[in-house]
Amino acid sequence: MRHIRLAACLLAVSLAGAQAQTPRGDGEFRIGDRLAGGGAPREASYRDITWDDLLPRDWNPMATFKGIDFSRLKDNDPRATEALEKIKRAWDEAPVSTALQGQRVRLPGFVIPLERQGKLTREFLLVPYFGACIHVPPPPANQMIHVIARRPVAGLNTMDPVWVSGTLSIHRAETGMGTAGYRLAGDTTLPYTGAGKP
Residue 104 class from Cβ within 10 Å (0-12 exposed, 13-18 middle, 19+ buried)? middle
CATH architecture of 4-25+35-191: Beta Barrel (2.40)
Q: What interhelical angle do 78-92 and 4-15 show, nearest 10?
A: 30
Residues 6+ apart with CB under 8 A from 165: 43, 46, 104, 105, 106, 186, 187, 188
- Residue 129 DSSP class: B
Whether the Cβ atoms of residue 21 and residue 33 lie closer than 8 Å to each other: yes
Outline where DSSP puts E strands in 12-89.
20-21, 34-35, 47-48
**C-alpha to C-alpha distance for 128 and 134, rounded to whole angstroms:** 13
At 148-198, the pLDDT tens digits run: 999 999 999 999 999 999 999 999 999 999 999 999 999 999 999 765 333
**C-alpha to C-alpha distance for 54 and 59, rounded to whole angstroms:** 11
Candidate from 14-23, 113-122, 167-176 with smallest mean pLDDT:
14-23
Q: Is the pLDDT of residue 18 over 90?
A: no
* Residue with more model confidence, 176 or 70: 176
**C-alpha to C-alpha distance for 129 and 55, rounded to whole angstroms:** 15
pTM (whole model) above 0.75: yes
**C-alpha to C-alpha distance for 46 and 167, rounded to whole angstroms:** 9
Q: What percent of the chain has pLDDT over 70?
A: 81
User: Confidence class of residue 99 from pLDDT cuts 50, 70 and 90?
Assistant: very high
